[in-house]
Amino acid sequence: MSEAPTIGMLPPVNADGDSPLAIIAGGGSIPIAVAEAVTQRGRRVVMFPVRGWADPAAVEKFAHYWLPLAQANVFRRHARAEGCRDVVFVGTALRPPLRSLRIDWLTLRLLPRVVRAYRGGDDHLISGVARVFEDYGFRIVAPHQIAPEILMPIGPVGSLSPSERDHVDIARALALLEATGPFDMGQAAVVAANHVLAVEGAEGTDAMLGRVAELRAKGRIATPTGIGVLVKAPKPGQDRRFDLPAIGPRTVEEAARAGLAGIAVLAGAAIIAEPLAVAAVADRAKIFVTGVAEQAAQ
Amino acid sequence: MSEAPTIGMLPPVNADGDSPLAIIAGGGSIPIAVAEAVTQRGRRVVMFPVRGWADPAAVEKFAHYWLPLAQANVFRRHARAEGCRDVVFVGTALRPPLRSLRIDWLTLRLLPRVVRAYRGGDDHLISGVARVFEDYGFRIVAPHQIAPEILMPIGPVGSLSPSERDHVDIARALALLEATGPFDMGQAAVVAANHVLAVEGAEGTDAMLGRVAELRAKGRIATPTGIGVLVKAPKPGQDRRFDLPAIGPRTVEEAARAGLAGIAVLAGAAIIAEPLAVAAVADRAKIFVTGVAEQAAQ
């Protein structure tokens, strides 16, 4: 029995691309938002929640197979049996310590490549993993190719809009994210009255906002509550099939707790989970959530 | 009685510049290191610890006057009475909420300028404040002009040196700090195996290292303990009379707790407090502390 990658081993897929969609699901609410949007479009979804990242309660209502990290053959077996050809990667991924992985024989063969991928930043790691899937005949698709309605629209979500001062902060944060892009790090920054309060590193957006809230509680932030923005944008040149920035109701709650005026996200280049809930939370907290045009950002 | 700035109102200073040195002291151990170095050189020191920032125990052994924030006349009165002409700003400064300041009449007159300065980043704020002092006839000098021995030397402090891999991480962190320089934010970053773990925002270096330690404890950092560097460097084009990056024994302890291989600092462009203690703590923790040449960094 050969384990060599041959597309011929996959079940046939019809031209309309309506084979079931495999969703490799990290943490947070975005994978569920994608699964629901795809299901509503009438396409079957098979979830592959990653153990330790995905929320067990969230995946229960979909067909699903838990995926241990670094066990590529578990995915391959179930995805083939289910007739999946298209694969979406979505949700929060944590960079696990290499030594903590229980690595299966298939992954072991791929390990030199994974180790090389580990040496770079997140983009590097993700594209390395993606190539492995493609070698095995799967097609990696972007979540928004499958369900474009999950993309952040242009303009405000909810009833508030950024002020002129907020626009200055938004422009500065976008310029900063542009400058840090080549370093393949976070996709988010907080700027208040032109002053950079925080840049996302390995900790994630929610933790970064928690830090701003803490600094504010300690009286370490000069600007009063209601000034400052969280800005999220993909890295320049990033492969947009993976790791698009995302916001959801929780992001809005954390931004409000950090005392910010609002959230700006590059429209069409980020995912918004539960937009109605986002609008409701934003209105209740009296902060804006807005999609800014990519051209305007440059 | 005129309050206009006239140098003629200041006591005469002899050509050797041995008027007492006024040290406006923020938090941390660096102001004490500077005061001790200057005292050892035979020059009298008058400390102006800033209330809420400086450590009361630390300033006790020097002549000192507590300085409430935004009370410029308190400084001017005592500094003139003591015959000080040169002023050094050193130590951790927190950006206080403007509304929390009890502002005196002299500062009030200067307020439009301070408010303008607040709108920019730290550099902007600091240079705005500095100009105010200069208008009143004081001369702002850099700590290292007064006591060059407090500058970080080239090469290792302690017995360990960075490995080849560490040098790659150091170069990446220096390039990142170069890129974020125009945004007038932190002066420190943590890079491990070419992966940016953290960039300093408003939280300060110790808090940033604490974050890395926390991420590591939660298993969120891929690289094992003993890989990764803290790099500190001034912003490109920064006025080096103010806010030079600084390290001390506490920095080394926090870097060790964060599981890093070591600390690299731009030699000649950063302050090292208590170098002997730094070396001892570094050797005990088995991490390197090294000064990298500015040219090599570019």
Q: What is the dihedral of CA B144, B149, B151, B152, to 10 degrees?
A: 180
Nearest CB to B198; choose among A184, A202, A224 = A202
Chain A residues in contact with B223 by the CB 8 A cut-off are 97
Chain B residues in contact with A215 by the CB 8 A cut-off are 202-203
pLDDT digits (tens, 9 = 90+) for B45-95: 999 998 888 888 888 889 999 987 767 778 889 999 999 999 988 877 655
Chain A residues in contact with B222 by the CB 8 A cut-off are 95-98, 118
ipTM: 0.71
- The full 3-state SS of B143-211, as one line of letters, equals HHHHCHHHECCCEEECCCCCCHHHHHHHHHHHHHHHHHHHHCCCCEEEEECCEEEEECCCCCHHHHHHH
Tell me how far CA of residue B154 lies from CA of B232, B265, B295, in angstroms. 14, 9, 11
Tally: H helices and E strands in chain A: 11, 13
pLDDT band at B295; cut points 50, 70, 90: low
**pLDDT for A12:** 36
* Cα end-to-end distance, chain B, whole Å: 53
B179–A199 C-beta distance less than 8 A: no
Print pLDDT tens along chain A (298 aa): 334 433 333 333 333 457 999 998 888 888 898 999 999 999 999 999 988 888 888 889 899 999 877 677 788 899 999 999 999 888 776 555 444 445 555 555 555 555 555 455 555 556 666 777 788 888 888 888 888 889 999 999 999 999 999 999 999 999 999 999 888 787 899 999 988 999 998 888 999 999 999 999 988 887 889 999 999 999 887 777 777 888 999 999 999 999 999 999 999 999 998 899 999 999 999 999 999 997 654 4
Nearest CB to A220; choose among B196, B202, B212 = B202
Say which range, A72-81, B64-73, B107-116, B269-278, has the weakest mean pLDDT.
B107-116
Residue B59, C-beta contacts closer than 8 angstroms, at least 6 positions apart: B25, B31, B32, B47, B49
Residue B16, C-beta contacts closer than 8 angstroms, at least 6 positions apart: none
Q: Which residue of B has its CA nearest to A190?
A: B201
pLDDT at B251 over 90: yes
Nearest CB to B193; choose among A119, A172, A185 = A119
Chain A residues in contact with B219 by the CB 8 A cut-off are 94, 96-97, 100
Mean pLDDT of the B25-38 span: 87
B196–A203 C-beta distance less than 8 A: no
Q: What is the DSSP letter of A50?
A: B
Distance separating alpha carbons of residues B18 and A215, to the nearest angstrom: 41
**pLDDT for B121:** 52
- Give the A window 206-265 contacts with B, CB below 8 Å: 207, 211-212, 215, 219-224
**pLDDT for B223:** 83
Q: For residue A222, what are its two tokens?
A: 């000069």
Q: Which residue of A has its CA nearest to B207?
A: A211
Chain B residues in contact with A178 by the CB 8 A cut-off are none
**pLDDT for B75:** 87
Instruction: Give the ranges where chain B is alpha helix by DSSP (H).
Output: 30-40, 56-59, 72-81, 105-119, 122-135, 143-146, 164-180, 205-217, 249-257, 275-285, 294-297
Chain B residues in contact with A119 by the CB 8 A cut-off are 193-194
Q: For residue B55, what are its two tokens?
A: 């450590």
* Cα end-to-end distance, chain A, whole Å: 53
* CA–CA–CA angle B49, B55, B57 (5° rounding): 105
Closest CA to A31 of A49, A52, A56, A57: A49
> What integer best gives the mean pLDDT of chain B?
82
pLDDT at B110 over 90: no
Q: Does A98 touch chain B (CB under 8 A)?
A: yes
Name the minimum distance, in Å, from the CA of A167 to any CA of chain B: 15
B215–A118 C-beta distance less than 8 A: no
Q: Does B203 touch chain A (CB under 8 A)?
A: yes
Q: Does B197 touch chain A (CB under 8 A)?
A: yes
Nearest CB to A222; choose among B96, B193, B224 = B96
Residue A14: how many CA atoms within 13 Å on its side-chain side? 5
Q: Are B230 and A211 within 8 A, CB to CB?
A: no
* CA–CA–CA angle A234, A240, A242 (5° rounding): 95
A223–B202 C-beta distance less than 8 A: no
Beta strands across the sheet bearing B86-90: B63-64, B45-49, B21-25, B86-90, B139-140
Tell me how far CA of residue A86 lies from CA of A38, A129, A143, in angstroms. 12, 15, 11
Q: For residue A157, what are its two tokens?
A: 């979500």
A175–B183 C-beta distance less than 8 A: yes
Between A195 and B281, the higher pLDDT residue: B281
**pLDDT for A153:** 94
pLDDT digits (tens, 9 = 90+) for B148-197: 889 999 999 999 999 999 999 999 999 999 999 888 787 899 999 988 99
